[in-house]
Structures are given as structure tokens and as C-alpha cells.
Copies of this chain bind each other. A is one copy, B any other.
């Protein structure tokens, strides 16, 4: 920049203002500067600029796992949205570890990102790390697994309603002994889904059978395990509702292996609407969580909060869409 200034017999201040389209600078000067900048392929040093301004055009994203459809979709939409506004994305994955999460919030704070979009790990129960970021004047938007007690914007799924709707659907189809595969009750989303499950049963005056509830069962392998144990222990059940599609898939595979007919003998419903649920046969009932909407809204909100500092917080839950498929359509089958 000094060089440009020298070449044009002007000062770096003018160069800076010209490049940033400051109204203080005359039209012809601006053009001269821009022309020369282009000619020399000049690119301002963002460190210096950020240092001076105390902010960067970067948004941090912290999520448990990048390579899961739901999250990679969210990131995809966040990226598209913030890119339109000239922001960049810094991505961190915690692998569901609370320690890593804290560490990453710290690093992003140190890097002075303008905002952090975070899906809390399933281990996380306190939110002092988020408050630290807030104190450093970094906007925080929570998504997916949120802690409402922490006063930030959030966009989440209506887990309670989603689960309730699914179980109601199963009941409607005539299933009565509905197994529930859930995650660990440390995180709110699983607490909510379980409540939805229980309330739907209560509505139909069906008592909760603890034998039918499995926690820490949200992966393919744990789904397989749980289903095997159900069969091995001869526990009677006629449907499985899983908090996640992968565990539902595990159940699906075991049932097929045992030649148990889906949906006639056992109905299945998952949650998340992973790509494969539509493709297997019978296709698996699931709930779309609208990752596109979550990503887009989170991005828009954080940009709003960054650019105007008294933006009201956005606390919203999106109703998932139950997609009934073959695996739970007992009546038509």
C-alpha cells in the first residue's frame, strides 16, 4: 500500500479510503487507485486490517461431526448464506467432546471471529465457555442441541413435537408396544424427544414400560445391539421408534436378518431423514429436520447480530416434518 501511495504521489490513507470506497475520496482518484491496485494484483493484508478494526469477517462453526449428513447440510447452507455477505467460515469439530468444544471456543475467541455458530456436544451441560465468548463481544447462535438457559439466539428442531407426532403416527397405525431408542439423557434434545414419546403414549392411556426404552442407542451398531437384546430376551414389541436414523437402520437390519416382517410384524420410524431412509426397502419413516432452514437462519441471524448490535435475539424451533414411509404403514400393508 505504501508502494501504491508512492507511485501516485499520495498517502496510504488515501489508498485505503479509495479502496474502501470512502465518500471522502474524489471519483478520479478512486479510479486511479483501483486501476493501479489491479495492475499490481494488490490485496490488502487482512491481518493489519483486522488488527486495526478489531474484527474479522470470519464466522466460526463448531459442530460435533462434519461428516454427518445433517451437519454437513447445515454447514453447506451456512456457507452459502454467509458467502453472500462476504464472510468466511472457520470450521471445528468436537467429536462430541466437551473438552474440545471449550478449546475451540477459546481458539475462535482468540482469532477474534465475529461470531460463533455452535451445535453443542452431547456431553455439554454447562455453558461458561459460551458466556466467555459473549463477554469477548462475539455473537453466538446455538443450533440443534441447545441450552436454553444460555441467553443467545438459537434455532433448533421441535424435538418434543417431532417425537410426539411420530409416536402418534405409530399408535394410529395400530402399534401398541413401541420401543424407544434414544441418546443419552445428558442433552436436551433427547430429553425432549423422550418426553414427546411418553406424552404420546399417555394420551392413549398406554403405560410406559422401562424395558422398552434404550438410552445411548443412536448409532448403527448400538441399534443392532439393542434390537438383538430385545429379541434375545423375548421382550414383546411391535414397533421401534428411534431418535436417530442410524440406530433405526440397525434395527431394520436385525429384523430383516431374523425375517421379521416390516411393517406387518414390527413397525420402524427413525429421525433425521437421512438419505438412505428413502432408498432401503421397505423405506423407513423418518422426520425431516430442515437442516437447510436451520443453516440459513443461523447464518442470517448471526450476520444481523454482528452488523447491528442491538438485534433482538432469535429463539426459534422448527417443526420437523414427519415423512411416513413403508416401514410404518401397517394399515395399508
Interface positions of A (Cβ within 8 A of B): 41, 43-48, 50-51, 56, 58, 65-69, 72-73, 75-76, 79-80, 83, 88-93, 95, 106-107, 109-112, 132, 249, 275-276, 279-281
Contact = CB atoms under 8 A, between A and B. Distances in A.
Given A73-B67, A281-B280, A91 B93 contact: no
Contact of A72 (B51, B66, B107, B112): B66
Nearest to A108: B88
Nearest to A106: B43
B76 A65 contact: yes
Shortest 4 CB-CB distances between A and B: which pairs? A47-B51, A72-B72, A67-B76, A67-B72
Contacts of A91: 75, 79, 89-91
Each complex incorporates copies of this chain amounting to 2
A188 B69 CA distance: 28
Contacts of A45: 51, 110, 112
A236 to B, nearest CB: 28
A253 B63 CA distance: 34
A66 B56 contact: no
A73 B59 CA distance: 22
A166 B46 CA distance: 48
Contacts of A43: 106, 109-110
B93 A90 contact: no
7 contacts: A43-B110, A44-B110, A51-B51, A76-B93, A80-B93, A89-B92, A90-B90
Contact of A69 (B47, B67, B279): B67
Contact of A281 (B48, B58, B106, B281): B281
A91 B90 CA distance: 6
Contacts of A88: 90, 92, 107, 111
A69 B67 CA distance: 7
A95 B77 CA distance: 12
A333 B107 CA distance: 56
Nearest to A107: B88
A50 B43 CA distance: 16
